[in-house]
């Protein structure tokens, strides 16, 4: 069915007159009559019967009316979904528990009028995510850009906006459970368990970190979910994992897990926001300004970054 014909049918039904319906749509009465006649031929039924004061829907017209309204609402939603300024700003945060997601939640609290569509491309690598941005499927994504040392393809732009400080996440039976802080040197004899990684970016980063400080970081093995990981940590005298300062995890109070800052130096996971240079979405500049202003850490003597991130 032609949407213009459906829209005209609804307007005439609501006003009770062809002329009034035509005026509402900014067309002539003749054009309105023609659209309704076309719709009637398409459906094989009469939609209106004439009265002394105008027209009213027939039984078939009354049956069609709620579905016609639904169709127009669906069309409006479809148009809004692809219209910059009307559709939500679509941002990939990689994982809903990590620093980019935390940053977007904070942005939304300050700017509740900005509609966001938050997605988490957990199993997509940087190349795939950047392709989504380049094609316009995403307005922005967060990546470390390890493979390209911070470079992005032509037409895209990037800005380093997050340096996510590491914390050691351990249970109450771990030998370091009562430490106020730990150094990378303190962790040499304590293996770090980070199962289930598939993305080359974090895998490469943790390989760099392990090499720099002679750490044992195990990224191999199945991941049965964050809840299972936290339960294992709570019950183990040996297992530990890294958690970013900007990551958010919840666990039962009985687990008594501890988040201990890693210092002297503090390893940080670098994340850049990537967007398309010609993206016209009016909410994007405000998000970028917010992210730049809220950068979590500045490289210095107390911060460790891999060589490719400098």
Q: Residue 157's beta-bridge partner residues?
A: 275
Helix or strand run (H / E) with residue 157: strand 156-170
Whole-number pLDDT of residue 1: 77
Rounded Cα gap, residues 6 and 65, in angstroms: 9
63 Cβ contact list (under 8 Å, min separation 6): none
309 contacts 202 by C-beta, under 8 angstroms: no
Evaluate the CA torsion angle 304, 97, 123, 167 in order and state its sign: positive
DSSP secondary structure string for all residues of 81-130: HTSTTTSPEEEE-SSTTSHHHHHHHHHHHH-TTS-EEEE--TT--HHHHH
170 contacts 261 by C-beta, under 8 angstroms: no
Longest Cα–Cα distance of the chain, Å, equals 93
User: Taking the domains of the chain in order of start, what are their residue ranges?
Assistant: 3-81, 87-310
Q: Does pLDDT of 184 surpass 60?
A: yes
CA neighbor of 291 nearest in space, from 169, 155, 139: 139
| Residues constituting the chain | 310
Q: Which residue has the higher pLDDT, 75 or 215?
A: 215
Whole-number pLDDT of residue 141: 97
| Digit-coded pLDDT (tens) for 135-181 | 988 999 999 999 998 899 999 999 999 999 999 999 999 999 999 99
CA neighbor of 228 nearest in space, from 239, 216, 213, 215: 239
Q: How confident is the model at residue 296 (pLDDT cuts 50, 70, 90)?
A: low
The answer to whether the 3-81 and 87-310 domains have the same CATH topology is: no
**Secondary structure letter of residue 304 according to DSSP:** E
CATH numeric code, 87-310? 3.40.190.290
Strand, coil or helix: 170: strand
Q: Residue 91's beta-bridge partner residues?
A: 118, 140
Domain 3-81 matching CATH 1.10.10.10: the answer reads: yes
Torsion of CA 77, 82, 86, 89, to 10 degrees: 120
> What's the predicted TM-score (pTM) here?
0.72
Q: What is the CA radius of gyration of the chain?
A: 29
Q: Please, what is the end-to-end C-alpha distance for the chain in angstroms?
A: 58
Least confident of 118-127, 160-169, 239-248, 254-263: 118-127
| Digit-coded pLDDT (tens) for 80-133 | 666 655 688 999 999 889 999 999 999 999 999 999 999 988 778 899 999 999
């Amino acid at each position: 069915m032609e949407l213009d014909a459906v829209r005209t049918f609804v307007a005439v039904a609501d006003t009770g007159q062809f002329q009034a319906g035509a005026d509402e749509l900014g067309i002539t009465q003749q054009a309105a009559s023609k659209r309704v006649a076309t719709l009637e031929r398409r459906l094989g039924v009469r939609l209106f019967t004439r009265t002394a004061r105008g027209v009213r829907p027939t039984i078939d017209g009354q049956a069609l009316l709620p579905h016609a309204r639904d169709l127009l609402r669906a069309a409006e939603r479809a148009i809004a979904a692809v219209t910059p300024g009307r559709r939500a700003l679509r941002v990939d945060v990689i994982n809903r528990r990590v620093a980019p997601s935390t940053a977007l939640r904070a942005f939304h609290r300050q700017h509740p009028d900005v509609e966001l569509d938050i997605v988490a491309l957990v199993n997509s690598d940087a190349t795939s995510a950047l392709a989504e941005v380049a094609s316009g499927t995403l307005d922005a994504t967060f990546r470390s850009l390890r493979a390209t040392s911070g470079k992005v393809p032509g037409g895209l732009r990037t800005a380093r906006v997050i340096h996510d400080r590491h914390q050691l996440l351990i249970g109450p039976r771990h030998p370091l459970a009562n430490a106020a802080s730990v150094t990378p040197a303190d962790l040499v004899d304590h293996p770090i368990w980070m199962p289930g990684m598939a993305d080359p970016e974090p895998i490469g980063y943790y390989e760099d970190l392990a090499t720099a400080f002679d750490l044992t970081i195990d990224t191999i093995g199945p991941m049965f979910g964050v809840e299972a990981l936290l339960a294992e940590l709570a019950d183990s005298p040996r297992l530990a994992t890294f958690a970013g300062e900007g990551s958010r995890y919840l666990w039962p109070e009985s687990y008594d897990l501890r988040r201990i800052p890693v210092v002297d130096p503090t390893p940080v996971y670098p994340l850049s926001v990537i967007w398309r240079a010609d993206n016209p979405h009016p909410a994007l500049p405000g998000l970028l300004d917010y992210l730049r202003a809220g950068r979590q850490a500045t490289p210095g003597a107390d911060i460790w970054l891999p060589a490719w991130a400098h």
